[in-house]
Amino acid sequence: MKFGIYYAYWEHEWGGNFLPYIEKCKRLGFDVLEVACGAFHLENEEYFRELKKCAEHNGMLLSGGYGPRPEHNLASTDSAAVEKAFAFYADVFKKMEIAGIDRIGGALYSYWPVDFASGFDKKADTERSIKSMRRLADMAADHGITLCMESLNRFEGYMINEAYEDVEYVKAVDKPNVKAMLDTFHMNIEEDSMVDAIKLTEGYLGSFHVGEANRRCPNPNGRMDWEAIGKALRDINYDGYVVMEPFVQMGGQVGKDISIWRDMSHGATEEMLDADAAASVAYLRKTFCK
């Protein structure tokens, strides 16, 4: 297993410059930096060549994350909008390949966060999504990219809330580069058993996000049974990335989308955030790799 962190831990806005985080995260003890792909269209190819160079120089791996904006909803009834989404992803995949990013995870099958007031038809949306995902998978395969379908809690998504739904979706798409993805924050709300959920994804798990129930950095004093979670991952021979996705700061679009309405960092400085992340990855590595 390789251990990573999502850059947005330190940020208030999606996007931004990922370059400084490569060196920082290497220094803090990570193997992987996960970046947001939603603003890749705003950067030119030179930036992605630079990202790759910087990652290689620091011995770091990069992975991608994206919570699709509504206009990139592959399950939309508006086929013209879906075509535009494919064009967006074509550009993202090209740039991911330049940067050496071989996997992207998130609610790629739908959009995020879902506006439940707008109404939806889960069955029909899922059928459209599966059809679109087969086409997206072929596009991604041309760039050596794997697509990871992240199961989300009921307040953020409706198509895939549990591991069994994730595996059903992935089996229905039936493409080797489309995988399931779990996140302990979402699982904590939806799964009867974290261990059973992980075991259900054996052979299908493409990415794994970790965080405490309130999205703090994984730590031995939280409510998650990290020993059991690590053992379940070892039992299914999971050898992919384990990426922590902590959110503790208020403000900006990040704070709004993640619903951080109080300063969970208690006024932490950047150095204090760094120290928490470093302690967390050391703890996870020790607990997950036995």
Q: Closest distance between Mn ion and the C-beta of residue 140, in Å?
A: 19
245 included as an active-site residue: yes
Q: Which is nearer to Mn ion, 11 or 245 (CB)?
A: 245
Q: Closest distance between Mn ion and the C-beta of residue 228, in Å?
A: 19
125 near Mn ion, rule: CB under 5 A: no
245 near Mn ion, rule: CB under 5 A: yes
The two structure tokens encoding residue 85: 């989404």
| Residues constituting the chain | 290
Q: Which among 8-16, 76-84, 182-190, 253-261 is the span making contact with Mn ion, rule CB under 5 A?
A: 182-190
Q: What is the DSSP letter of 31?
A: S
Say what angle helices 45-58 and 79-99 make with each other, to 10 degrees: 40
The two structure tokens encoding residue 207: 């990415």
Q: Closest distance between Mn ion and the C-beta of residue 65, in Å?
A: 7
209 near Mn ion, rule: CB under 5 A: yes
Q: Which among 43-51, 175-183, 194-202, 264-272 is the span making contact with Mn ion, rule CB under 5 A?
A: 175-183
**Number of residues forming the site for Mn ion (CB under 5 A):** 3
Pairing of strands 103-106, 61-65: parallel
Q: Which is nearer to Mn ion, 209 or 216 (CB)?
A: 209
Which residue in the list 150, 156, 162, 212 is annotated as catalytic?
A: 150
11 included as an active-site residue: no
Q: Closest distance between Mn ion and the C-beta of residue 113, in Å?
A: 12
- Of 31, 162, 183, 212, the one binding Mn ion by CB under 5 A: 183
Rounded to whole angstroms, the Cα distance separating 208 from 188 reads 14
Rounded to whole angstroms, the Cα distance separating 240 from 272 reads 28
Q: Give me the numbers of helices (H) and strands (E) for the chain, helices first please.
A: 10, 8
Q: Which among 121-129, 160-168, 197-205, 238-246 is the span making contact with Mn ion, rule CB under 5 A?
A: 238-246
Q: Which among 156-164, 171-179, 242-250, 253-261 is the span making contact with Mn ion, rule CB under 5 A?
A: 242-250
3-state secondary structure of 33: strand
Partners of 210 in the β-ladder: 244
Rounded to whole angstroms, the Cα distance separating 183 from 141 reads 24
Q: Which is nearer to Mn ion, 28 or 242 (CB)?
A: 242
Rounded to whole angstroms, the Cα distance separating 22 from 30 reads 9
- For residue 15, with 0-12 CB atoms within 10 Å meaning exposed, 13-18 middle and 19 or more buried, which class applies? middle
Q: Which is nearer to Mn ion, 54 or 197 (CB)?
A: 197
Q: Which is nearer to Mn ion, 245 or 276 (CB)?
A: 245
Partners of 6 in the β-ladder: 34
Q: Write out the catalytic residue numbers.
A: 150, 245
Applying CB under 5 A, which residues contact Mn ion?
183, 209, 245
